[in-house]
A and B are shown apart, each in its own frame.
Chain A
Amino acid sequence: MNWFPGFRPERKVVITHEDIDRAHDRARVNAARSRRTWFSQLRLLWLLVGPGILVMLGENDGPSMLSYAATGAKFGVGFFLPFIVLTFAMAIVVQEMTVRLGTVTQRGHAELIFERFGPFWGWFSMIDLGLGNFLTLITEFIAIRAGLGFFGVPPWAAVLCALALLYTALMTHRYWTWERITLAIAAFNLIFVPIALLSHPDWHAIRQALITWKPVPATDKDTLLILLADIGATVTPWMLFFQQSATVDKGMTKRDVTFGRADTVFGAALAATAAVATVIATTPLFIHHMSAENFQAAEFAQALQPLIGKFGAALFALGIVEAGMVACVTISISSAYAFGEVAARPHSLNLPVQQGKAFYAMVFLLAACAACIVLIPGLPLVYVVLVVNVIAVLAMPPALVFLFMLVNDRELMGDVVSPRWANALATGVVIFLTAAGVLFGVSVIAPNLFAAMGGK
């Protein structure tokens, strides 16, 4: 690279354990790329997918699945089905930029913001990420606790299970192994598809909703809150930081951008399928006029039990546990990557413990703190779950502007700066998210003005 002065290819370098592990992964990619058979191309795809699927399925986390469940229970099949698909399309536009940025610069997102725009803006960005990630982590443990609670597992045991899984996945000290273990767990997000089938969906209504976006719900505060929660269930700041850092840690280069895009689109398709399935699965609650106000995972499963059977309800509770577990892993690692990048400490899942003490300590410290908070008796956890997705939506426009500026920085990106159409789409996403946030603000602080705008 020639964009950072002082880097000279001929200077002496130290080869680390991290480099060796990454080189082994890249050797397999190069071997697959050197052959031209369809099998080797499939193998290449298999080797290069990961960050995109993980980020999308990771974002189908505890609060997100509960938001989708609340959507189905409150509004049934209608406007929100195609709306959720649209939010995933927005996520593809945004996440594709992080793939390009990571492969070209070989730097994490936090590192680039700090070094390119200075510590003043860097710290703002870090505070947004740190606060958002920590609140979200708490909600993941709430989801795990509530989901396992359906099976009679006590809260302390549920939390310990989640921490043990996080520990097991990390202790491989190998990005590739960690990624495959987490992908295997994340695949269980599709458990919501059989649950939807068990709810005997009305396929005609689903088809009509996807085509016509109808029936449209009333414009009131509850609808806005669900709208914001569903957007926050799909596009959030941690996703930007995670996918860019994971792309770099995986060792992807400019030659892999096409596969990175395919990975992102495939991940979004899987996640959108699971999200839509969740709305369909809880639609029977809407049809039977069952109030799902302030429901958590166990309550949803219990309410669904008479409608989809004990097996279906158990699957629902397991799905919420899985959603919380995967997000717990990805979000805590996203925070640790950002911490390592900003503090200039080694930050890779290829690091042995001795070399990556600060990185691994950060992952466990965050997860353990969030887990402890969930165990405090009497805390109003339901409010944390409700506001966490809304906060994610509100924090997204500033994060997107940093991404937008970086991906259009010709000094960094050279000839792979964003094309005009991508910039137009990204600008549309920023305006849409900001407008949704402003509308929500108006509905809370000026309900009369909101009513004058056509709301209730």
Chain B
Amino acid sequence: MAQESKMNNSVDLAEQQLVLSTLEPEQLAEAKKQRVPRRHLKGRELAILWFLRIYLLFMIAVVAYQAWTGAR
């Protein structure tokens, strides 16, 4: 692998080679610090997300009402 690595002092050469030869570049903890680019949500997607959000809030209120009446 052509990766140039800045290693911690505690990591020995054999372990460096093992990591670089067995893990794919995006599997390294350091690579995961890169952010995934934001995606623009389309109108239909936003409509579905809002519908389900309202549905969830409403249904949780229904469950709370049922639990309250059940407790009484």
Chain A residues close to B by CB (< 8 Å): 1, 3-7, 9-10, 12-16, 18-20, 22-24, 26-27, 30, 105-107, 111-112, 115-118, 121, 124, 128, 251, 253, 344, 346, 348, 380, 383, 386-387, 390-391, 394-395, 397-398, 401, 405, 409, 411-412, 434, 437-438, 440-441, 444-445
Nearest CB of B to A242, in Å: 18
How far apart sit A252 and B33, CA to CA, in the bound complex (Å)? Answer: 18
- Known A-B contacts A15-B7, A118-B38, A405-B45; the reply to A348 vs B29 at CB < 8 A is yes
Nearest CB of B to A21, in Å: 10
Contact across chains for A251 and B36 when beta carbons are under 8 A apart: no
- Known A-B contacts A116-B36, A117-B39; the reply to A395 vs B56 at CB < 8 A is yes
Contacting residues, chain B, for A15 (C-beta < 8 A): 5, 7-8, 11, 15-16, 19-20, 28, 30
Contact across chains for B25 and A9 when beta carbons are under 8 A apart: yes
Contacting residues, chain B, for A444 (C-beta < 8 A): 62, 65-66
How far apart sit A107 and B66, CA to CA, in the bound complex (Å)? Answer: 38
How far apart sit A439 and B7, CA to CA, in the bound complex (Å)? Answer: 58
Contact across chains for B60 and A253 when beta carbons are under 8 A apart: no
Chain B residue total in the interface (Cβ 8 A): 49
Contact across chains for A391 and B3 when beta carbons are under 8 A apart: no
Contact across chains for B18 and A10 when beta carbons are under 8 A apart: no
How far apart sit A102 and B38, CA to CA, in the bound complex (Å)? Answer: 18
Nearest CB of B to A158, in Å: 25
Q: Which of B6, B36, B41 sits near A4, CB closer than 8 Å?
A: B36
Q: Nearest A residue to B18 by beta-carbon distance?
A: A23
B43 at the interface (CB under 8 A from A): no
How far apart sit A387 and B26, CA to CA, in the bound complex (Å)? Answer: 41
- Known A-B contacts A116-B36, A387-B63, A437-B59; the reply to A19 vs B3 at CB < 8 A is no
Q: Which of A1, A24, A395, A434 sits near B26, CB closer than 8 Å?
A: A1
Q: Which of A3, A344, A395, A398 sits near B33, CB closer than 8 Å?
A: A344
Contact across chains for A106 and B26 when beta carbons are under 8 A apart: yes
How far apart sit A380 and B72, CA to CA, in the bound complex (Å)? Answer: 11
Contact across chains for A20 and B18 when beta carbons are under 8 A apart: yes
Q: Which of B15, B39, B66 sits near A116, CB closer than 8 Å?
A: B39
Q: Which 10 A-B pairs have the closest CB atoms?
A: A115-B36, A398-B52, A26-B22, A23-B19, A394-B59, A1-B26, A13-B30, A23-B22, A7-B34, A16-B29
Nearest CB of A to B2, in Å: 6
Among A15, A116, A348, A409, chain B packs the most CB atoms within 10 A around the CB of A15
Contact across chains for A111 and B49 when beta carbons are under 8 A apart: no
Contacting residues, chain B, for A27 (C-beta < 8 A): 18, 22
Contact across chains for B2 and A10 when beta carbons are under 8 A apart: yes
Contact across chains for B26 and A7 when beta carbons are under 8 A apart: yes
Contacting residues, chain B, for A112 (C-beta < 8 A): 36
Nearest CB of A to B59, in Å: 4
Q: Which of A105, A124, A383, A398 sits near B36, CB closer than 8 Å?
A: A105
Ordered by A's residue number, 13 sampled pairs between the chains whose C-beta atoms are within 8 Å are: A4-B35, A4-B37, A9-B25, A19-B28, A26-B22, A106-B26, A106-B27, A107-B32, A121-B49, A344-B33, A383-B71, A395-B56, A397-B56
How far apart sit A26 and B28, CA to CA, in the bound complex (Å)? Answer: 12
Contacting residues, chain A, for B26 (C-beta < 8 A): 1, 7, 106
Contacting residues, chain A, for B2 (C-beta < 8 A): 9-10
Contacting residues, chain B, for A10 (C-beta < 8 A): 2-4
How far apart sit A409 and B41, CA to CA, in the bound complex (Å)? Answer: 11
